[in-house]
Amino acid sequence: MTEQKTSDGISDPGNYRKLSEPVSLEDAEKRLSAFWTELYDLRNKHGIQDAYTVVMLTVATEDGDDETVFTSMHCGNELNREPMTAWALGQEQANRQERIIKLMSSKTAIKKPVRNK
């Protein structure tokens, strides 16, 4: 499957599985540093006023467990950081509600039990 790039996201399950493999903490720090630098440069290249990005990585701990790590970065006016985050949360919640409504109204989503007469 090729990556589908839209404003709604990119869907590529195989690539996601590959990127979900745990990395060392040292490797995660290097990846994040490079990512933030490139994101900052990309923002400037395309003239984006404010950008707020949240990322998640799976890190292999020294005791052999995997740990999920979240972090974020904002570029632009710091006063926009919180409203942008609040807008994103509200948008995601509205999108989820829309998906639930579509699923619930789908004739094939929920099959009514057949009753014997």
Q: What is the dihedral of CA 17, 22, 25, 26, to 10 degrees?
A: -70
**pLDDT value at residue 60:** 96
The reply to whether 19 and 54 lie within a common domain is yes
The reply to whether 17 and 45 lie within a common domain is yes
CB 20 within 8 A of CB 28: no
**pLDDT value at residue 11:** 79
Number of folded domains that form the chain: 2
> Which residue segment(s) compose the domain that 13 sits in?
7-76
For the chain (117 residues), the mean pLDDT of every run of 10, in chain order, is 54 89 95 97 97 96 93 96 96 94 78 65
**Three-state secondary structure call for residue 50:** coil
Q: Compute the distance between CA of residue 22 and CA of residue 58 in angstroms, rounded to an integer.
A: 5
The reply to whether 59 and 82 lie within a common domain is no
Residue 114 lies in a domain: no
Task: Give the containing element (helix H, strand E) for 100.
Answer: helix 81-105
Residue 115 lies in a domain: no
